[in-house]
Amino acid sequence: MKLANPLTRPLTVAAQRKAKVRRGGQSTAALTLAALGVVFGDIGTSPLYSLQTVFSAEHNAVQPTPEHVYGIISLVFWSITMIVTVKYVTFVIRADNDGEGGILSLTAMVRRQFTTRPRASKLAAAAGLIGASLFFGDSVITPAISVLSAVEGIEVAYPDFPHIIVPIALTILIVLFASQKYGTSVVGRAFGPIMFCWFGVLAALGLPHILENPGILVALSPYHSWKFIFAEPFIAFIAMGAVVLSVTGAEALYADVGHFGRRPIQLAWLCYIWPALTICYLGQGAMVLAHPETISNPFFNMGPSWTVLPLVILATMATVIASQAVISGAYSVARQAMRLGYLPTLDVKQTSRHEAGQITIPVVTGVLFVCVAAIVLIFQNSVALASAYGLAVTTTLTLETLLFCVFARKIWMWPWPLVIGFGGVILSFEATYFIANLAKIFIGGWLPLAIGGVMLFIMTTWQAGRREVTRRREIIEGTLSDFLEALTQEGREPIRCPGTIVFPHASDRSVPLALRQNVSLNKVLHEQVILVQVKTIHVPHVDEEECVTIRHFPTAPPGIIGVTLRFGFFQTRDVPMALQRASERLNMPELDVSRAHYLLSHLDIEAIRTPGIRGFRRALFVLLTRTASSPSKHFRLPSERTIELGSRIQV
């Protein structure tokens, strides 16, 4: 059997069509420019703090000697080359799930390969959940370290005013988070050109120092990396804990492939960003060799003194863009987690009439801001915060590599030697960086673990509580077949009234509580009853032709039908629109819901001492149910034709 070449594997025709629709049919050039402003914001601002952290007082074993500088620059270059260029741009970005990327999409594809092996499926799910949890930690740390590192440039120009850095950083963050309710539909168009200028400035700052000291170019050879590691392994190990900061944000290249496409991201990286970053890091290395005193802040010392304030302004804009990108990413991950059943369905606000991906989640915004402001006040500067940053990055990178190796073996059918070779080379970098950052666990490394641990606890608690509520609810509701048969028994037939009523319901086996209560209290059944089950499938998008399944009930009174609606975890679950389109496509006037009413079952969860979820998890689950928005919002039901009937369940 001839295997498909993963290096040239195109998207499926359906995936290309969907991706083109989602991206509005924009040209490759426009998408490449847009990707500059969203995908590369995090990795593009790494030069602000990477080498500063390497040569900081915390890493005082690393000195600005030629051996150390050549070794550090070589490590930075080859880390970017192997992790970003080889791993993500060449291979991982091709592991799309119906055109979408990201660790949850990769997890969903891997889990589908283990349908008959529940343990392997659970292990893959756990890896995806841990990665998603740590992404929220990244979403907290990135705005803090990025904005702090940019504002710290003021200290280079005005050494007597270090006390104003934290207040200015907090002010910028307040404005950033307050503006989330307006979305990025307007300001987003400016992101690309600003980041285009930013990467141009990075290259322009580094080039004069390279020309002044061209000997730094020898650092491009891997020989200096290995020489540094073998000659001074302890110092190199310490340095690696900070070198990894040069690849922060690399996972965004994969996560955003559905928004911009594979080719624009590859073009932007290979033709512009990778060369610009390389020149900037080489320039910093050349400057440190010539002027060792500049190690206090290598980036802002690269230009003449008059450029410091303009650089602070441009760097602040770049870090705000990087922060906005990771905040938007947190919204996307949260929405995926909600639709996959790991978080309660929170209130999601659409901030653009044209782009479905532009959303804001007020609860997530509030929690992120409180956490970001707190760690800015606690850590006070970017170097101190860098100790916390590295562990979140390396853990996510390592998990994604392991999942990709399983994907390559199971789906692309890579031979074992190729899987082991690829995994061994990439993990030799990532695992080393992970271990190096573990050494910092007591000086800040605990922070992403704590944030990730809290998020993992919340998601698993919600999943367990939701499962328990579903079990108890089905007991109360009873089976649908028994209920429908009872409606046809002589003397128990309800009065039929005109109109169509829709009952959205989570299960196709049990009776919607609202339906049971309506028949029991009012003794009335509408002429047309539609029982709608909404399913979220572990794929990003479901074709319209595969979205709807119709069920008929031979033993039920006439006019009652069941409908199953399937949505991907990237899709908006608009129940009325899906039913209306199905009515037109299938020529079924009984699915015409233009005048239908919707009856929902509203559940109040009460915590009591019963078997099921226990202790603090029970109280947390009940608290989480209070944050969930009404199903009428996330199913896009018309408020003027929607009624909710209340009920209570104890857990």
CB contact set of 341 (below 8 Å; sequence gap of 6+): 462, 463, 466, 536
73 plus 151 within the same structural domain: yes
- The parent domain of residue 623 ranges over 479-650
Any domain includes 460:
no
Same domain (yes/no): 429, 546: no
DSSP strand E in 385-544: where? 495-505, 524-537
Tell whether 130 is covered by a domain.
Answer: no
pLDDT at site 201: 95
- Tell me if 315 is assigned to some domain: yes
649: confidence class by pLDDT, cuts 50, 70, 90: low
Mean pLDDT across 266-290? 94
* Count of C-beta atoms within a 10 Å radius of residue 504: 24
Q: Is residue 20 part of a domain?
A: no
Domain boundary among 369, 401, 434: 434
pLDDT tens per residue, range 63-116:
888 999 999 999 999 999 999 999 999 999 988 877 777 887 888 888 888 877
Q: Please indicate, yes or no, whether residues 196 and 312 belong to a single structural domain of this protein.
A: yes
* pLDDT surpassing 70 at residue 354: no
C-alpha 262/C-alpha 412 separation (Å) is: 18
**Helix H segments across 340-381?**
362-379
Question: Which residue intervals of 244-273 are DSSP H helices?
Answer: 252-255, 257-260, 262-268
| Interior/surface letters 609-622, b for 16+ CB within 10 angstroms, e for the rest | eeebbeeebbebbb
- Could you tell me the pTM of the whole model? 0.77
Lowest-confidence pick of 200-209, 217-226, 465-474, 499-508: 465-474
Do residue 421 and residue 530 come from a single domain? Answer: no
Contact 180, 369 (CB under 8 A): no
Closest CA to 567 of 357, 356, 340: 340
Q: Stretch 150-159: mean pLDDT, rounded?
A: 79
Q: Which DSSP letter does residue 342 get?
A: S
- Asked if residues 423 and 403 have their Cβ atoms less than 8 Å apart, the reply is no
Residue 252 pLDDT class (50, 70, 90 cuts): confident
For the segment 178-187, the average pLDDT, to the nearest whole number, is 65
- pLDDT at position 283: 96
* Pair (363, 512) in one structural domain: no
Quick one: which H or E segment has residue 546?
Answer: helix 544-547
Q: In the chain, what percentage of residues exceed pLDDT 70?
A: 88
Closest CA to 62 of 244, 293, 237: 237
Q: What is the largest CA-CA distance in the chain?
A: 98
Residues 193 and 251 grouped into a single domain: yes
Whether residues 428 and 489 share a domain: the answer is no
* 422 shares its domain with 528: no
3-state secondary structure 501-521: EEEEECCCCECCHHHHHHHHH
The tally of domains found in the chain comes to 2
**What pLDDT sits at residue 4?**
39
The per-residue pLDDT for 8 is: 36
pLDDT for res 3 = 37
Q: CB within 8 A of 214, min separation 6: which ones?
A: none
pLDDT for 618 beyond 90: no
Q: Identify whether residues 37 and 185 lie together within a single domain.
A: yes
pLDDT higher than threshold 70 for residue 269: yes
Helix (H) or strand (E) holding 548: strand 548-552
Query: Is the predicted pLDDT of residue 386 greater than 70, yes or no?
Result: yes
Please provide the average confidence, as pLDDT, over all residues in the chain: 82
> Model confidence at 163, in pLDDT bands (50, 70, 90)?
confident
CB 551 within 8 A of CB 508: yes
Which residue do the tokens 């890579």 mark? Answer: 414
Residues 515 and 599 in one domain: yes
Q: What are phi and psi of 83, to 5 degrees?
A: -80, -45
Which range has the worst mean pLDDT, 158-167, 246-255, 576-585, 607-616? 607-616
What pLDDT, in 10s, does the model give residues 524-583?
888 888 888 888 776 767 887 788 888 888 878 888 888 888 887 667 788 888 888 888
pLDDT at residue number 16:
46
Is 453's pLDDT higher than 70?
yes
Instruction: Judge whether 606 lies within some domain.
Output: yes
Q: Residue 401: inside a domain, yes or no?
A: no
Instruction: Let me know: does 136 contact 330? Beta carbons within 8 Å.
Output: yes
Do 360 and 490 lie in a common domain?
A: no
Q: What is the pLDDT at residue 74?
A: 95
Q: By the 8 A CB rule, do 645 and 602 touch?
A: yes
Residues 430 and 497 in one domain: no
How high is the pLDDT of residue 10? 41
73-92 in b/e form (b: 16+ CB < 10 A) is bbbbbbbbbbbbbbbbbebb
Max mean pLDDT among 154-158, 368-372, 589-593 falls in 368-372
- Predicted confidence at residue 624, as pLDDT, reads 85
How far is 459 from 472, CA to CA, in rounded Å?
Answer: 20
Distances (CA, A) of 160 to 157, 384, 432, 445: 9, 20, 39, 30
Tens digit of pLDDT for each residue in 213-245?
Answer: 999 999 999 999 999 999 998 888 888 888 888
Residue 277 lies inside a defined structural domain of this protein: yes
Task: Answer whether residue 21 shows pLDDT above 70.
Answer: no
Phi, psi (deg, nearest 5) at residue 282: -60, -40
**What tokens were used for 455?**
């998020």
Structure token pair of residue 320: 């705000």
Closest of 16, 392, 32 to residue 196, by C-alpha: 32
Residue range 198-222: mean pLDDT, rounded: 94
367 located within any domain: yes
